[in-house]
Structure 1
Amino acid sequence: MTTSSASAAPHTNGTTEGQPSTANESTQTRSFPEPKVAKMSKEGVDEDRWSVESVLKNEKLSYLENTDSPIPFFHLLERLKTTHRAGWRRFGIDDCESISDHMYRMSLITIMAPASLTSKLDMAKCTRMALIHDMAEALVGDITPVDNVSKPEKSRREAETMDYICHKLLGKFSGGLNGQQVRAIWQEYEDSETLESKFVHDVDKVELISQMIEYERKHQGSIDLGEFTWVTKKILSAEVKGWSDELLLERLDMWKGFGKDPNWADGTKPESKPTVS
């Protein structure tokens, strides 16, 4: 994606307090029953057409495959640095964070876990998982509901991409062990059954809320991203929920300073100062 000025008018159909949110958790954006904007072409959404090979061909990408070197993998990772998180761009934030920006802060958040979490989690795995969980977007891109790609199809594309990365780019490096580890950690996050994966999903949400507030602050209240506050209701761990509560209170005070009442997903507007552990 190209980077341009973020001066476009903000999205105006945000979720208001008391109304149910329809944001899509996996894509950090809102679901549209009848997508009308930013739709892909019919060819682009044809589930039988998409493949890693078609992306490599269309994007004119070439990575050496089946070598005993990790260098081709290093080059593929560059795309995570230059691909923007698509959900923000619907609000006119064109100079928004990249996929790797998001994963980097997530990884640092994991190492801030308090003793109540570190005593029961494999924290090294959590940090690796934060750095791996969106890796497939290097080729798949950051799919949003307006792209008209079904969730099963999105999962298929991401799994195919991870197989390509871990087998064709890393399959012969170090006996394939590193690629196997990356693939297993990515799958663990997707399955979201272990304590570690559930914690990293929580971290994903609190990182999103942090970024949301920072964009609102940067635009001095001219952009209201309140529809995303719904994700805070999905946080499972008390520790991460405490961080989330603190962030929402920060947002409340910030908008009071703007002299405006922003949107909140139902049940997310803080009423009193939270207790932060």
Structure 2
Amino acid sequence: MSENFTKMLEFMSLVGHLKHVRRTGWVQKKVAVGGGPESVADHMYRMAVLSFLVDPGAGLDKHRCMKIALVHDMAECIVGDITPQDGISKENKHQKEKEYEDQSSKEAEFIKDIDRFEMILQAFEYEQMDMKPRYLQDFFDSTKGKFKTEQVKAWVQSLEATRNTTPNM
């Protein structure tokens, strides 16, 4: 077996851990529907799919967006899923996670919005599956005023309108 293959296997094993790292916010809320809380890998996958939907007129590199989405939480296979409630400073979290937190490009800014949007979309789905209207409102509240890109702002507005008109919501 070549050294390159061994390193690749080691890396893929680390990345594979993301399939088993449950998103901490859902675990803390005791989400149990659909086989339990989504994993970090589930979250990253849907973010990558959402990045396919980037508005062609936005001037963003779609492939770069997909790449950022796929790697933005990769460090969590080592450090775990860190939330604001974990008592870790922003500086320490930044060191443990990814450069995309700097929002140093339009693509990184878009993916940060996708990250937040995917979270509230997941919250909406859990509320529907659990038939518990608004029990995950704090996830929505935590994103208020934080979206920067017009495309994702429009998605958020549409999701909120859907949430407000959905039976049992």
TM-score w.r.t. the length of structure 2 is 0.88
| Letter of the 2:109 counterpart | K
Q: How many residues align?
A: 161
Q: Is the 8 A contact 1:206 1:232 kept in 2?
A: no
User: Aligned to 2:61, which of 122, 125, 128?
Assistant: 122
2:148 corresponds in structure 1 to: 236
1:252 corresponds in structure 2 to: 164
| Letter of the 1:68 counterpart | N
Please give the alpha-carbon distance, in whole angstroms, between the structure 1 residues aligned to 2:146 and 2:85: 23
TM-score w.r.t. the length of structure 1 is 0.55
| Letter of the 2:41 counterpart | S
| Letter of the 1:151 counterpart | K
Q: 1:249 to 1:149 in 2, by over 3 A?
A: same
Q: Is the 8 A contact 1:232 1:241 kept in 2?
A: no
Task: Provide the alpha-carbon RMSD of the alignment.
Answer: 1.7
Between 211-220 and 89-98, the greater mean CA deviation after superposition: 89-98
Please give the alpha-carbon distance, in whole angstroms, between the structure 1 residues aligned to 2:90 and 2:48: 25
Indicate the SS of the match to 2:145: helix
Q: Does 2:21 match 1:83?
A: yes
Which sections of structure 2, spanning at least 5 residues, go unmatched? none
- Aligned-pair distance for 1:190? 2.3
Please identify which structure carries the higher helix content: 2
- Aligned-pair distance for 1:229? 1.4
Q: Does 2:58 match 1:147?
A: no
2:118 corresponds in structure 1 to: 207
Q: Is the 8 A contact 2:54 2:60 kept in 1?
A: no
- Aligned-pair distance for 1:102? 0.4
- Aligned-pair distance for 1:146? 3.7
| Letter of the 2:114 counterpart | V
Q: Does 2:152 match 1:216?
A: no
Please give the alpha-carbon distance, in whole angstroms, between the structure 2 residues aligned to 1:90 and 1:250: 26
Q: Does 2:75 match 1:136?
A: yes
Q: 1:237 to 1:148 in 2, by over 3 A?
A: closer
Runs of 4 or more consecutive aligned structure 1 residues displaced over 3 Å after TM superposition:
none
1:113 corresponds in structure 2 to: 54
Please give the alpha-carbon distance, in whole angstroms, between the structure 2 residues aligned to 1:124 and 1:74: 21
Deviations 1:70-125 (A, max 9, x none): 121111111100000001122111410000100100000011122222xx111101
- Aligned-pair distance for 1:223? 6.2
Which sections of structure 1, spanning at least 5 residues, go unmatched? 1-66, 159-185, 261-277
Q: Does 2:43 match 1:102?
A: yes
User: Aligned to 1:193, which of 87, 93, 104?
Assistant: 104
Select the structure of larger CA radius of gyration.
1
Q: Is the 8 A contact 1:91 1:223 kept in 2?
A: no
Larger relative contact order (C-alpha < 8 A, sep ≥ 6)?
A: 1
1:74 corresponds in structure 2 to: 12
Q: 1:103 to 1:225 in 2, by over 3 A?
A: same
Please give the alpha-carbon distance, in whole angstroms, between the structure 2 residues aligned to 1:90 and 1:223: 16
Deviations 1:117-162 (A, max 9, x none): 2xx111101000000000000010012344332222222333xxxx
